[in-house]
Amino acid sequence: KKDEYYRRMREEMKKVDKEDKRLHRERLRENRIKKKMKWKKGKSGPDEEDEGEEAGESDPSMSDKGPEGKGRRRSKVYFDSDGEDGEQGESKDKSGLPKPDSISLAEQEQLALKLLSSMHS
């Protein structure tokens, strides 16, 4: 009697476990699909300038993005600092910009061209 009872219980538990595993896999799959859709939706947003870099990546878990799908922050570019320790020249005022009388027109043009070329590269 007991053997029969435990055998039936084991069979029943196997069925229940199998169904639970199937449901769990299905939930995980749905979550993966949702995250992928969210990632693709965020990627096709207004900033498509670096699309060429990541165009080959189809799986969000393989990219260098975090779990929220946000990209890495780019490092800041400081145009006005010459030295690495943040020292500024004496020809600059408190705001970090050059004083108007200490820089010639040719130097201003050269600086503007340099800034424009660095923005486009």
- The pLDDT tens digits of the residues spanning 17-61 come to 999 999 999 999 999 999 999 888 887 765 544 444 444 444 444
Burial-class residue 36 by CB neighbours within 10 Å (0-12, 13-18, 19+).
middle
Are 69 and 39 a contacting pair, CB within 8 Å?
Answer: yes
- As a dihedral over the C-alpha atoms of residue 116, residue 45, residue 55, residue 120, rounded to 10 degrees, the angle is 0
Judge whether 6 lies within some domain.
Answer: yes
| CA–CA dist 77, 81 (Å, integer) | 10
Residue 1 lies in a domain: yes
Is 50 within a domain?
no
Residue 97 lies in a domain: no
- The pTM score is 0.33
9 lies in some domain:
yes
With respect to residue 7, please indicate whether it lies within any of the assigned structural domains: yes
Q: What is the Cα–Cα distance from 106 to 92, expressed in whole angstroms? A: 17
Does 109 fall in a domain?
no
In a domain, 108, yes or no: no
For residue 98, list its beta bridge partners: 92
Domain count, the chain: 1
- pLDDT at res. 45: 63
Pair 23, 16: CB distance under 8 Å:
no
pLDDT of residue 54: 45
Query: What residue numbers bound the domain in which 4 lies?
Result: 1-41
